[in-house]
């Protein structure tokens, strides 16, 4: 198949045989999956007295922005999504067999969190992302809960150990078994015996458990130390969950056929690969942000709350991102369980930090009209909802192999969300028969405008 076919506009129907994908051929109006909350506060909507602040309207980015999220260790989902988006032309099965299209060259690629876990290969995905960067793609990496949880779990093993975060390794360990096994098999297994010993291989199981698991002091002091952050019921649940995950981890790890000391060796090698300045993957966390804002759009992995909305209005994205990196280094517990952690963990549950009209007003006064996020996965392409007057574009379209197998989705996953300077948003997914097209509402309204479908379909002629 020619490169010309692969680089046609993203909503042009074409069969990508080497990717096993079928891209939708028509455009349809993007409908909200929930009715707007009629009580949502909008400072630009006229009040009962007829007064309202002047509505500045949606501000659109000066460049196209392509959003991929929740890739979960699946490099094939990365490439399939970029081909479906018209961002790259794939010229063969090799990971480096691609060219960036003219559209891709003038666009920003936002990878909106959760590169780790679930899929076939964490390291392959990261190498493919890095190859895109070396090829000139402008990439914004956003922190996801799986990414932060793994880093926090490994850093919690550093000496001297912090009582507050001693259980963080077990928090991530059951889901991290495949990643640790991958690191062991690719970066430890073939080393000389003395090199393996340097990473901790050969230690007796009890010594390994002492280094990986919380000690007695954690069980004694954690309830008091955590009380400013968590309710007594949550503390009890956290401690019970820690014991459960310890049993799960040992069981799952031994199922790999590897001994416990090899898991410990993998954690130390992982730290060297990701946390050492010269490590192959040190770029990943060094370039990761908590959030990104451009025009009227705020990009985050999961969601917002009142505290973080107020902080964003006061400090801006750049200062919050610096605070995030400082907390990754110095305050793992406060980061993960505090409001900042809500940005990559929230699903707007009752147990999450509240997002009320007060928080929405802070965002609206910065002219943030839409939050673009992942974390909540869907089976028929991207969705959007309106929470407190803020549009939430939920872009996790179940891309990765692990999720699709577990949740009964057939075929390979591919999806991309475009935010275009001409004032529209496109949701492209192989699991939906049409490209979803959104245009913003008229001033003071929450009802989206009727798109000109013909205009976008004519671009494929």
CB 340 within 8 A of CB 351: no
Q: For 78-105, what is each residue's pLDDT tens digit?
A: 999 999 999 999 898 899 999 999 999 9
CB 429 within 8 A of CB 379: no
**pLDDT tier, 24 (very low <50, low <70, confident <90, very high otherwise):** confident
Give the tokens for residue 399: 């891309």
Q: What percent of the chain has pLDDT over 90?
A: 79
* Residue 79 Cα to chain centre, angstroms: 17
CB 404 within 8 A of CB 413: yes
Nearest CA to 124 among 450, 400, 409?
400
Strands laid side by side in the 390-396 sheet: 292-294, 297-299, 370-377, 390-396, 383-387
Between CA 113 and CA 67 the distance in angstroms is 10
Residue 448 pLDDT > 60: no
Give CA separation, 80 vs 114, 203, 427, in Å.
Answer: 17, 43, 15
Q: For 264-295, what is each residue's pLDDT tens digit?
A: 999 999 999 999 999 999 999 999 999 999 99
CB environment 105-137: b (16+ within 10 A), e (fewer): eebbbbbbbbbbbbbbbbbbbbbbbeebeeeeb
The string of DSSP codes covering 23-62 is ---EEEE---SS---TT---TTS--TTS--PPP--PPPPS
* Terminal alpha carbon distance of the chain: 19
Q: Which CATH architecture has domain 3-46+58-143+290-458?
A: 4-Layer Sandwich (3.60)
Ordered by start, the domain boundaries in the chain are: 3-46+58-143+290-458, 168-275
Q: For 26-79, what is each residue's pLDDT tens digit?
A: 899 998 876 555 445 555 554 444 545 567 789 999 999 999 999 999 999 999
Give the sign of the dihedral formed by CA 371, CA 375, CA 380, CA 385: negative
Question: Tokens 């630009």 belong to which residue?
Answer: 44
Between CA 142 and CA 121 the distance in angstroms is 19
**What is the overall mean pLDDT for the chain?**
88
Q: For 13-23, what is each residue's pLDDT tens digit?
A: 333 433 556 78
* Residue 251 Cα to chain centre, angstroms: 28
Nearest CA to 173 among 225, 116, 132, 110?
116
Between CA 413 and CA 398 the distance in angstroms is 7
CB 406 within 8 A of CB 427: no
Q: Nearest 10 degrees: CA dihedral of 205, 211, 215, 217? A: 150
Query: What's the average model confidence in pLDDT over 153-176?
Result: 91
Q: For 339-398, what is each residue's pLDDT tens digit?
A: 999 999 999 998 899 999 999 999 999 999 999 999 999 999 999 999 999 999 999 999
């Amino acid at each position: 198949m020619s490169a010309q076919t692969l680089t046609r506009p993203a909503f042009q129907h074409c069969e990508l045989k080497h990717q096993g994908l079928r891209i939708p051929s028509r455009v349809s109006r993007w409908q909200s999956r929930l009715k707007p909350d009629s009580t949502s506060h909008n400072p630009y909507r006229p009040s009962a007295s007829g007064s309202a602040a002047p509505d500045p309207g949606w501000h659109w980015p000066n460049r196209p922005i392509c959003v991929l999220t929740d890739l979960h260790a699946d490099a094939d989902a990365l490439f399939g999504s970029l081909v479906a988006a018209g961002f790259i032309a794939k010229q063969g099965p090799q990971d480096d067999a691609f060219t960036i299209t003219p559209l891709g060259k003038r666009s920003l690629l936002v990878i909106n969190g959760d590169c780790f876990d679930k899929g076939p290969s964490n390291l392959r995905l990261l190498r493919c992302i890095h190859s895109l960067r070396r090829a000139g793609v402008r990439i914004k990496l956003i922190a996801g809960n799986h990414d932060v949880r793994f880093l926090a779990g490994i850093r919690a093993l550093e000496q001297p150990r912090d009582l507050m975060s001693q259980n963080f390794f077990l928090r991530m360990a059951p889901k991290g078994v495949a990643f640790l096994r991958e690191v062991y098999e690719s970066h430890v297994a073939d080393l000389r015996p003395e090199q393996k010993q340097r990473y901790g291989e050969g230690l007796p199981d009890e010594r390994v458990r002492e280094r990986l698991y919380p000690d007695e002091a954690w069980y004694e002091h954690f309830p008091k130390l955590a009380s400013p952050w968590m309710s007594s019921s949550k503390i009890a649940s956290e401690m019970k969950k820690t014991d459960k995950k310890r049993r799960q981890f040992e069981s799952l790890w031994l199922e790999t056929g590897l001994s416990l000391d090899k898991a410990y060796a993998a954690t130390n090698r992982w730290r060297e690969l990701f946390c050492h300045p010269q490590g192959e993957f040190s770029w990943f966390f060094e370039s990761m942000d908590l959030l990104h804002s451009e025009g009227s759009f705020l990009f985050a992995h999961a969601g917002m709350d009142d505290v973080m909305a107020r902080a964003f209005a006061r400090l801006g994205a750049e200062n919050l991102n610096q605070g995030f990196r400082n907390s990754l280094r110095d305050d793992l517990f406060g980061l993960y369980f505090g409001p900042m952690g809500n940005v990559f963990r929230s699903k707007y549950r009752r147990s999450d930090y509240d997002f009320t009209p007060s928080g929405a007003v802070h965002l609206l006064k910065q002219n943030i009209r839409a939050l673009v996020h992942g974390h909540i996965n869907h089976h028929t392409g991207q969705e959007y909802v309106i929470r407190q007057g803020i549009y939430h574009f939920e872009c996790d379209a179940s891309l990765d192999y692990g999720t699709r197998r577990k949740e009964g989705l057939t075929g390979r996953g591919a999806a991309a969300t475009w935010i275009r300077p001409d004032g529209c948003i496109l949701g492209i997914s192989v699991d939906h028969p049409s490209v979803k097209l959104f245009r913003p509402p008229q001033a003071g309204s929450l009802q989206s405008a009727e798109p000109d479908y013909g205009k976008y379909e004519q671009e494929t002629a």
